Structure 1
Amino acid sequence: MMLERKVKTVRALERGLDVLLEVQARRAASLHELHVALGLPKATLLRMLLTLGRKGLVWQRLADGAYLPHVDALARSPSAAIEHVAEVASPHMKALSTKVAWPSVLAVPRLDHMEILETNSPLFRLDSAILGPVGVKLSYIHTATGRAYLSACDESEREAIIARLRPRDSTEAAEEDLRAILAETRSRGYAAREPLHPWPDRSKQLVLRDGRRSMAVPIMAGGSPVATINLTWPAKRGTDEAVVLRHLDALQQTAAAIGRAVEAQAAMASGTTVNFTI
């Protein structure tokens, strides 16, 4: 009878896999949560997370520092790639923070609102630059983020969204004003909060009183918008015209880079080969 050989396990590998499995189970985990769950020193965890990140197994969200599992691009469908746009956008948003003095949010469309998926505001040590957190719902009508998407999507989608948002007592003039705002947004290439619109919505009062200005552009992939990215700054620190002149180009370049990354991800999922310059 053959005797079983006693082979020792690799303890460091075991611990690294424990970290990976814990991140996957939680879907998003802070360093402290992993420390409590696994009983490992935070310095050790940081080294393991860095290693897992370099191997493409986890990634760190800018918005809150959480660690999330990387979803293998080959296992994704094109629609799933869109849902994971935050992962591909995060490094581009970090790079944007080194070029522009104000923070950004990344948001994706939902049924009757835009939802924040990522923000680089923690990279800015400014009380006036706190955006987010992840999961916050933004208005299609009253935010630059929402207007950027609504102006860029195709007519059928735009009409469906407007129908969901239309108040029962809406006037024809108010709807014409909204369409004029969206047409102007398309023609100039970016969205702004102004002019105000009379329809009530989740973000209207916040926009009126928070003392901020914002501009946003759509992130296009495959000819359609999949998300939007903005810049937000205190009104007292710069006029719209000055900030647009100084930073619109960097914002548009970032949006284009994210769009190419999303397209490449979707191409990998479908097994096609696409050449993009990022």
Structure 2
Amino acid sequence: MSGADPAGGAKEKETPSILTKAFDVLNAFNQNERVMTLSQLARASGLPKSTVHRLLARLVEFGAIEHHRSGYKLGLGLLQLGATTPAAKMRDQAIPYLVALQRWTRQTVTFAVLREFDVVYLEKLAPADSPSTLVSIGARLPSNCTAIGKALLSYEDLDDLAAFLPLRLHQMTPHSITNADDLVEHLRIVRKEGIAREHNEAQMGLEGVAAPVVVNGFAVGAIAINHGPNAPASGRVDAALRDTTAQLSAHLRSYVVAAPEGERLVPRTLSDPPPWG
């Protein structure tokens, strides 16, 4: 008998769909492997070479994949789709504020949104001589390990947040906050101060501060500054970050549909998308 066992037995393993396999191929590309051969894609996706070959033919037809010499690369069709997302629109609106902040601090400035328990980076502006970090556009990192993630989480319902978190959170360095209750108490401080801080929690040697971009009571995004040896004094950095996020929040309000008069927006959970982004 197929399906779920009423007594709680194991479910029959679902056969991956053609759509799942197509995304396995697309997800095989990364920052280090921008052009891949058929054999490389088969190994990275875990799919038979014949299956990958058929999928590539269709993906090329749809513009999601393009030929590149003897291999393949992601196509501009994906860029067109990505550019139509609300998050991309918000990034476009944020760019002038991010540029101004980066020029003043001469440090790395990032912009990200929350997706479930991860932060997804939409933009990164860095000096030419900045050290390599885990952060790149499109990268996902555990929110408990980053200042930008903690800034975003601080606007969740903190009384209920612990119930949505695993007891043991993801650990990227020995300094990461891994206990859910400890994280919630830390977030209460972040919410009160309006600034989140990061000290070697995602990557050793990486420090920074972040503040949320708040619209109608939701943290729709956050901006972070990673400190370097020539950064301005911390108090001035905090003030500039608060000022920038306040300006961007005010600018974005015209792009968010307000709740009807007399109603309050229902607080979202980590599984729900924000009203913007």
CA distance in 1, matches of 2:241, 2:132: 17
Q: Counterpart of 1:84 in 2: which secondary structure?
A: helix
Alignment of 1:166 onto 2:167: yes
Q: CA deviation at 1:113?
A: 0.4
**What per-residue deviation string (whole Å, max 9, x for no partner) do you get for residues 65-114 of structure 1?**
x999976xxxxxxxx64563111111111111222221211010112200
Q: Counterpart of 1:104 in 2: which secondary structure?
A: strand
Tell me if the contact between 1:102 and 1:232 (Cα under 8 Å) persists in the aligned partners: yes
2:242 alignment counterpart: 252
CA distance in 2, matches of 1:218, 1:83: 17
Q: CA deviation at 1:129?
A: 7.3
Taking structure 1 as the reference length, what is the TM-score of the superposition? 0.54
In structure 2, stretches of 5+ residues that fail to align are: 1-61, 65-74, 170-177, 261-277
Matching residue's letter, 1:191: A
Tell me if the contact between 1:105 and 1:231 (Cα under 8 Å) persists in the aligned partners: yes
Distance verdict in 2 for CA 1:159–1:100, change over 3 Å: same
**What per-residue deviation string (whole Å, max 9, x for no partner) do you get for residues 178-234 of structure 1?**
22211221222200124x8xxxxxxx5x42x2x121100011011111111100023
Alignment of 1:229 onto 2:209: no
Matching residue's letter, 1:231: I
2:192 alignment counterpart: 187
CA distance in 2, matches of 1:218, 1:112: 16
1:262 alignment counterpart: 252
Task: Indicate which of 79, 98, 102 corresponds to 1:97.
Answer: 102
Task: Indicate which of 143, 158, 174 corresponds to 1:155.
Answer: 158
CA distance in 2, matches of 1:252, 1:190: 8
Q: Which has the higher contact order (CA 8 A, sep 6+)?
A: 1
Tell me if the contact between 2:109 and 2:223 (Cα under 8 Å) persists in the aligned partners: yes
CA distance in 1, matches of 2:112, 2:254: 20
Q: Counterpart of 1:181 in 2: which secondary structure?
A: helix
Matching residue's letter, 1:167: R
Tell me if the contact between 1:82 and 1:226 (Cα under 8 Å) persists in the aligned partners: no
Q: Counterpart of 2:106 in 1: which secondary structure?
A: coil
Q: Counterpart of 2:237 in 1: which secondary structure?
A: helix
2:131 alignment counterpart: 128
Distance verdict in 2 for CA 1:126–1:26, change over 3 Å: farther
Instruction: Please give the residue correspondences for 1:62-73 in structure 2 after superposition, counting only pairs within 5 Å.
Output: none
CA distance in 1, matches of 2:161, 2:221: 14
Percent identity of the aligned residues?
Answer: 21
CA distance in 2, matches of 1:140, 1:112: 6
Q: Counterpart of 2:236 in 1: which secondary structure?
A: helix
1:215 alignment counterpart: 209
2:67 alignment counterpart: none
Instruction: Please give the residue correspondences for 1:42-57 in structure 2 after superposition, counting only pairs within 5 Å.
Output: none
CA distance in 2, matches of 1:127, 1:245: 22
Distance verdict in 2 for CA 1:112–1:70, change over 3 Å: closer
Matching residue's letter, 1:85: M
**Normalized per residue, which structure has more helix?**
1
Count of residues paired in the alignment: 179
Q: Counterpart of 1:135 in 2: which secondary structure?
A: coil
CA distance in 2, matches of 1:153, 1:103: 26
